């Protein structure tokens, strides 16, 4: 599986989910849709820090991501539920 095909499937799976839904890729890594695909590290069970997945990270995490792909796990995280998609304008 290539990174591009994995990400395309992940986008398809996440973009139709309710706000705050994450793909729980591992014990310490999730992905979510906010107008674009966002990868993030978990800390103490909550989304802590965004992460850029480049080719190097993909190769390191590929076995874990392919394992997730074979048996996907999702959850809803309250800290993301109120986040507006980054591609929508903000009205104040």
Domains in the chain, number: 1
How confident is the model over 10-24, as a mean pLDDT?
91
Q: How far apart are CA 14 and CA 33, in angstroms?
A: 6
First to last CA, the chain: 43
Is residue 82 one of the residues assigned to a domain? no
What is the pTM assigned to this prediction? 0.81
Q: What is the mean pLDDT of residues 15-19?
A: 87
Residue 83 lies in a domain: no
Average pLDDT, the chain: 85
Q: In the predicted model, is pLDDT for residue 24 greater than 60?
A: yes
Asked if residue 11 lies in contact with residue 49, where contact means CB atoms within 8 angstroms, the answer is no
Domain range spanning residue 54? 3-77
Residue 82: pLDDT band with limits 50, 70, 90? low
Examine the pLDDT at 14 and tell me if it is beyond 80.
yes
Using one digit for the tens of pLDDT, what is the confidence trace for 56-75?
Answer: 999 999 999 999 999 999 99
85, part of any domain: no
Instruction: Tell me what pLDDT residue 87 has.
Output: 43
Q: In whole angstroms, what separates CA 50 from the centre of its chain? A: 10
The verdict on residue 86 lying in a domain is no
CA distance 41 to 78: 15
CA distances from 89 to 9, 31, 54, 86 (A): 26, 22, 28, 8
């Amino acid at each position: 599986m290539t990174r591009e095909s994995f990400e395309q499937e992940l986008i398809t799976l996440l973009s139709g989910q309710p706000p705050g839904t994450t793909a729980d890729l591992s014990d310490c890594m999730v992905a979510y849709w906010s107008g674009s695909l966002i990868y993030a590290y978990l800390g103490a069970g909550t989304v802590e820090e965004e992460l850029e997945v480049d080719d190097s990270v993909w190769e390191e995490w590929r076995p874990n991501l392919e394992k997730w792909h074979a048996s996907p796990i999702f959850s809803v995280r309250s800290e993301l539920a109120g986040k507006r998609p980054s591609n929508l304008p903000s009205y104040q």
